[in-house]
Chains A and B, each alone.
Chain A
Amino acid sequence: MSEETPKPDATPEVKPAEAKPAAPPPPPPVTYPRSAGVTMAAAPKASLSRFLGDAFGLFKGMNVTMRYFRKPSRIVTREYPENRGTLKMSERFRGQVVMPHDEKNEHTCTACTLCEKACPNGSISILTTKNLASKRVLGAFVYRLSSCTLCNLCIEACPFDAIRMGHGFEMATFTRDPLDLILNKTEGR
């Protein structure tokens, strides 16, 4: 019965004629299919000692909480926005890609585009230019943080250690524009 779609043309005259003569048989109990062939290990029998043991178990669980209450040394609390000054990320932490510059404001990038090729998301574009000796040098290292997955592949690909992963992690912005960055401060030489 339930397989049939509701019939729009079911006429109301048929029903009373069928239902009237005899009382309808009681509907079969609704059964729901269950995972077949499961044999349960019997549940432990209820007994006073079991009940007391279980209740004692609850108190022991509560005691764990109390232990922390009495000895708060194991509690870990980090007050994040307040501890910004002292917060130190681990050395290998992967924040956004940065390009270190030395004291003369120079970087070591040679515009070899290996990082651009290694990036799975096309987050890096190396725009080149020519210097006075008409040598091909880095014009702009365009880095799109918005599509970067911080996967470290560009850093691994760079043969000159010109880029590395920064330690910043507060990267949220209100608009998308600040996420398109130019990493080099000066053109390559």
Chain B
Amino acid sequence: MEALKTSAPALPPGFSLRETRADGSQEYFLNMGPQHPSTHGVLKLVVRLDGETVVEVVPHLGFIHRAIEKMGENETFVQYIHLTDRMDYLSSHINNLGVCMAIEKAMGIGVPERGEYIRVLVSELQRIQSHLLWWGAFGMDLGAVSAFLYGFKEREKITQLFEELCGARLTMNFFRPGGSNADVPEGFIGKVKELLEEMKFSLDEFDTLISKNMIIRERCFGVGRLSRERAANYGCSGPVGRASGVDFDVRRDDPYSIYDRFKFEVPLGSNGDCLDRYLVRIAEMRQSVRILEQVVAAFPEGQYRSKEKASYKVPAGSYFSAVETARGMFGTYFVSDNSFKPYRVKSRSPNFSNLSALNEMAQGGKIADLVAILSTLDLIIPDIDR
């Protein structure tokens, strides 16, 4: 009965609204998701709004939590690889690579030359594929449906290549400690060469369609800014961090596999707004094409995998590996107690850190900008929850 007398609606603990103003206007909460098309998955955002202005965004996680890290404790090291497909499913090859590298580090397994080239080749194809999907979805989020079709048309070519390579289109489970589970099929490199030529044409087409489109540019310029310091503090990596000027790329600064042999640049933005995040990703696709050209030009003959072990018993200790996925730094941390199964697995997922900057980016902007910001963050929700 007491509660009925108060004017403020009962809010759950931890929630607060500013007081109702003299003219009767008031802040309010809006739930965005978990079933919202622009959250690209089951992410729920509780948005505190003042009219159309965003005051605060609180992401609620856990809708797609599958306890992958806990499951890893009950699976052998090789079995764990296929679970990482299901984290960031658009970078599944690269996630697999991270796990394999940690196992290789622990057991001192080497990778033959051709195996390393396959790794770089596949990783970069995966990066382009992921960015293509993002490009399409970005257009879709801002209301340009045709961008989605163009993006997916190009992406389909790479997906087709992956299907030929490992039989899967999304959950690859291709890399193994010491190389990969199969060699590249006949004529694969030729197809990649063809694809690269088409990619260059398509990227120019993308530029004409969207990058140089004044409506998109005006829509994105200055929206969702994130300063360099804050991006670094939040641990943003990948295109989100680089658009804010955080000059960090695992491929260049802590080269794994054979990335140190290839020439490429790390595109940087300065404004940290949606437009910069867009342009950085487009530039990254061009750099990936550049890396791929060097890879196919020097693709060696030989073995694709060093001698396969019957089982992988990892000596006691803790092992870490970091790779650059399409969204940033993906770390895998194993603790082993000298057995066939990891004692503890922990993944450092780039999306979780990138999401944490969302509140700061969206504050003070309009609710419609929140969709643009979410889109350029390029979140993969299963990677946040794991």
Which residue from B18, B75, B185, B205 sits with its C-beta under 8 Å from A91?
A: B185
Cα-based distance from A82 to B50 in the complex (angstroms):
52
Which residue from A33, A36, A60 sits with its C-beta under 8 Å from B208?
A: A60
Describe A's contact surface by its main secondary structure: loop
List the one stretch of B3-11, B39-47, B113-121, B284-292 in contact with chain A. Answer: B3-11
**Taking CB as reference atom, which chain B residue is nearest A55?**
B214
Which residue from B146, B168, B215, B227 sits with its C-beta under 8 Å from A37?
A: B227
Contact A8 B167, beta carbon cutoff 8 Å: no
Interface size on A, residues (CB 8 A): 44
Which residue from A2, A10, A93 sits with its C-beta under 8 Å from B17?
A: A2
Residues of A within 8 A of B321 (CB): none
Contact A120 B82, beta carbon cutoff 8 Å: yes
Residues of A within 8 A of B273 (CB): 40
Q: A57-B214, A92-B165 are in contact. Are A64 and B3 (CB under 8 A)?
A: no
List the one stretch of A105-113, A133-141, A145-153, A170-178 in contact with chain B. Answer: A145-153
Contact B53 A40, beta carbon cutoff 8 Å: no
Of B146, B209, B215, the most chain A CB neighbours within 10 A belong to B209
Chain B residues 138-190 with CB under 8 Å of chain A are 146, 153, 156, 160, 163-168, 171, 173, 181-182, 185
Q: Any chain B CB within 8 A of the CB of A17? A: no
Q: Any chain B CB within 8 A of the CB of A38? A: yes
Cα-based distance from A1 to B19 in the complex (angstroms):
8
Q: Any chain B CB within 8 A of the CB of A6? A: yes
**Taking CB as reference atom, which chain A residue is nearest B168?**
A94
Interface size on B, residues (CB 8 A): 60
Contact A92 B167, beta carbon cutoff 8 Å: yes
Contact A38 B271, beta carbon cutoff 8 Å: yes
With both chains docked as a complex, state the minimum distance between the C-beta of A58 and any C-beta of chain B, in angstroms: 6
Contact B167 A90, beta carbon cutoff 8 Å: yes
Residues of A within 8 A of B166 (CB): 92, 94
**Taking CB as reference atom, which chain B residue is nearest A2?**
B18
Residues of A within 8 A of B6 (CB): 6-8, 10
Contact B8 A35, beta carbon cutoff 8 Å: no
Contact A8 B21, beta carbon cutoff 8 Å: no
Q: A38-B271, A57-B214 are in contact. Are A90 and B82 (CB under 8 A)?
A: no
Q: A58-B213, A58-B214, A61-B209 are in contact. Are A27 and B79 (CB under 8 A)?
A: no
With both chains docked as a complex, state the minimum distance between the C-beta of B135 and any C-beta of chain A, in angstroms: 14
Q: Any chain B CB within 8 A of the CB of A165? A: yes
Q: A60-B208, A61-B212 are in contact. Are A41 and B270 (CB under 8 A)?
A: yes
Contact B19 A35, beta carbon cutoff 8 Å: no
Total A-B Cβ pairs within 8 A: 121
Cα-based distance from A90 to B169 in the complex (angstroms):
11
Residues of A within 8 A of B82 (CB): 120, 149, 151, 153
Q: A34-B225, A40-B222 are in contact. Are A8 and B19 (CB under 8 A)?
A: no
Cα-based distance from A36 to B19 in the complex (angstroms):
26
Residues of B within 8 A of A7 (CB): 6
**Taking CB as reference atom, which chain B residue is nearest A40?**
B271
Residues of A within 8 A of B225 (CB): 34-35, 38, 40
Cα-based distance from A65 to B222 in the complex (angstroms):
29
Q: A150-B168, A150-B171 are in contact. Are A61 and B210 (CB under 8 A)?
A: yes
Contact B363 A34, beta carbon cutoff 8 Å: yes
Cα-based distance from A60 to B210 in the complex (angstroms):
10
Residues of B within 8 A of A89 (CB): 163
Contact B230 A36, beta carbon cutoff 8 Å: yes
With both chains docked as a complex, state the minimum distance between the C-beta of A87 and any C-beta of chain B, in angstroms: 13
Q: Any chain A CB within 8 A of the CB of B254? A: no
Q: A92-B164, A120-B79 are in contact. Are A76 and B156 (CB under 8 A)?
A: yes
With both chains docked as a complex, state the minimum distance between the C-beta of A28 and any C-beta of chain B, in angstroms: 12
Please give the residue numbers on chain A whose beta carbons come within 8 Å of chain B beta carbons, in ascending order.
1-3, 6-8, 10, 27, 30, 32-38, 40-41, 43, 54-55, 57-58, 60-61, 63-65, 76, 89-94, 118, 120, 149-153, 156, 165
In order of increasing CB-CB distance, the 4 nearest A-B pairs are A54-B214, A94-B167, A92-B167, A32-B364
Please give the residue numbers on chain B whose beta carbons come within 8 Å of chain A beta carbons, in ascending order.
2-3, 5-8, 16-19, 21-22, 50, 53-55, 75, 78-79, 82-83, 146, 153, 156, 160, 163-168, 171, 173, 181-182, 185, 205, 208-210, 212-215, 221-222, 225-230, 270-273, 360-361, 363-364
| 11 A-B interface contacts by CB (under 8 A) | A2-B18, A32-B364, A41-B270, A57-B214, A58-B215, A61-B209, A76-B153, A90-B163, A92-B167, A93-B163, A149-B171
